[in-house]
Structure 1
């Protein structure tokens, strides 16, 4: 597990001109509107050791910054002006409970009875150990969790020369952090939890669990009740027609299926329903294709075309149904093996 050194954290504080931001919160738009936030710019400082450092300033994901800035270096030089993608379209799901969009590495929380949405960056499952698409519930809240590695995790670690203990007690060395929300998927092995490897948030590195920054999971944990609905989707493309007639498309790089796959050029999978929406909206065909190729990770305005877009609008991408399957709640003991 990688951990930022105390010296690095001190340097970050010394050179910081913008306070660390946590839990980006937005007022909900009208029911027939989905666009929230505004993009920002940031000038890289001498103490910004990598994109993860910058991402934590704005409580976003390093991969989202990479998408927005296209050719930026993993360690950008001081003085570089960086676009922070803090404008987004809400996922096309009911505004209820927790919504996770794996493709954009974001978790949305809709507090019950409030006209707001909180948006958090997350780390998700790596290739071959993907976080499952599902509709489930929070089955258990676990403060100060212990970590019981699964047999698979122990075997993979042993193959790399690391022998994991059967149980890691609660504390600063626990990879689950201080708070965990167990999900009712499988045998309860999937969690939303903190981490002692802060640079892993915003990346695909877990064994299927959803990782959050320590301040973020602490805030979410305090608000979420057992039984809260959790919807996990994988939608790299979002499209909205706003009440004023303006159209927006937000395209993320799809999750790679293999280590060698180039997510900037691989065909994007999205549902026939979304393809029909894009076609019927009649937006400018050329700009839609440009956005699908650029994959900037933030909303791009699409003016109306001279005529309705033809089906050919989506011919350059694969069109498949995003499956969402239910899962029964399964409240397990806190000591049960989890994926991390």
Structure 2
């Protein structure tokens, strides 16, 4: 009775904090978190719900297909995708998996991972895959839009962007920026001055966090820490418990580069399925749905 009451309270009044924090799983495991559920209340819509749980709006939509994100029906039970497989890369510094629209931060010496929803580059201005490091931390950054963005802004909106945007409420970088040591150093992990674009593909190539999340990350990350940006559409895991899990996200787009990356992952998936007793029909359904949720695909004997 008490347990049911606590669940009901948590569903109606979710706990809000900066990032979702999980203890690192045992050796050989990649599964963290657990699925939560939320009953839609009057006046709520996906953007407000996603903000309450600190997840991205697109991942909330993927986990709840068929529900209107702008006018979800009061009383609808939603799946909150706060269970996930960690990406298949070293657990160091920042790891950003583009199809997930998630940033993972593994602080050195701590057995935990912080997970943030992020906005990434839109089609035509894709966020590049890279292994790099934090070059600098910039409080109250100025924004120097390149000529291509100024031209695009003028053509689409009929407005002239200044060559330099000073810190303040009109600066789209927000109050904090983390510069990456990549190329000319023009790629940033930064905040925003708008309540839009977190968990979506809308930026000009940089990584966008909510104001609270970028402030936390800015205050905790150090210069020189590793930053890994990957494109893992499908994640798989053979857990120490015996569970065989697959997690599938929607590919970013149909560019040639991204198609090659999907094919490479498909080859790895075939290897995973051939090594273990896998329920092929369940795995095929997960690949077709692409809802971003971990799915058990092991055959139990």
| Same fold at TM > 0.5 | yes
Equivalent of 2:18, from 18, 22, 30? 22
Match of 1:220 in 2: 217
| CA displacement at 1:74 relative to structure 2 | 2.0
Q: How far apart are the structure 1 equivalents of 2:273 and 2:170?
A: 48
Equivalent of 2:237, from 240, 243, 248? 240
User: 5+ residue gaps in structure 2?
Assistant: 1-11, 256-260
Match of 1:171 in 2: 168
Q: How far apart are the structure 2 equivalents of 1:35 and 1:77?
A: 32
Confirm or deny: 8 A CA contact 1:285 1:305 kept in the other structure.
no
| CA displacement at 1:243 relative to structure 2 | 0.5
Matched, 1:253 2:286: no
Confirm or deny: 8 A CA contact 2:14 2:53 kept in the other structure.
no
Q: How far apart are the structure 2 equivalents of 1:78 and 1:147?
A: 42
| CA displacement at 1:103 relative to structure 2 | 0.4
Q: Which runs of 4+ in 1 moved over 3 A?
A: 16-21, 267-270
Matched, 1:183 2:203: no
User: 5+ residue gaps in structure 1?
Assistant: 1-15, 259-266, 307-340
SS in 2 for 1:72: coil
Q: How does 1:11-90 map to 2 (within 5 A)?
A: 17-48=13-44, 50-75=45-70, 76-90=72-86
Confirm or deny: 8 A CA contact 1:39 1:86 kept in the other structure.
yes
| CA displacement at 1:270 relative to structure 2 | 4.0
Confirm or deny: 8 A CA contact 1:239 1:278 kept in the other structure.
no
Confirm or deny: 8 A CA contact 1:235 1:270 kept in the other structure.
no
| CA displacement at 1:268 relative to structure 2 | 5.0
Matched, 1:155 2:140: no
The structure that is helix-richer by fraction is 2
Closer, same or farther: CA 305–270 of 1 in aligned 2, 3 Å? farther
Matched, 1:297 2:283: no
Confirm or deny: 8 A CA contact 2:18 2:216 kept in the other structure.
no
TM-score using structure 2 length: 0.90
Please tell me the root mean square deviation across aligned C-alpha atoms, in Å: 1.7
Q: How far apart are the structure 2 equivalents of 1:190 and 1:61?
A: 21
Match of 1:94 in 2: 90
TM-score using structure 1 length: 0.80
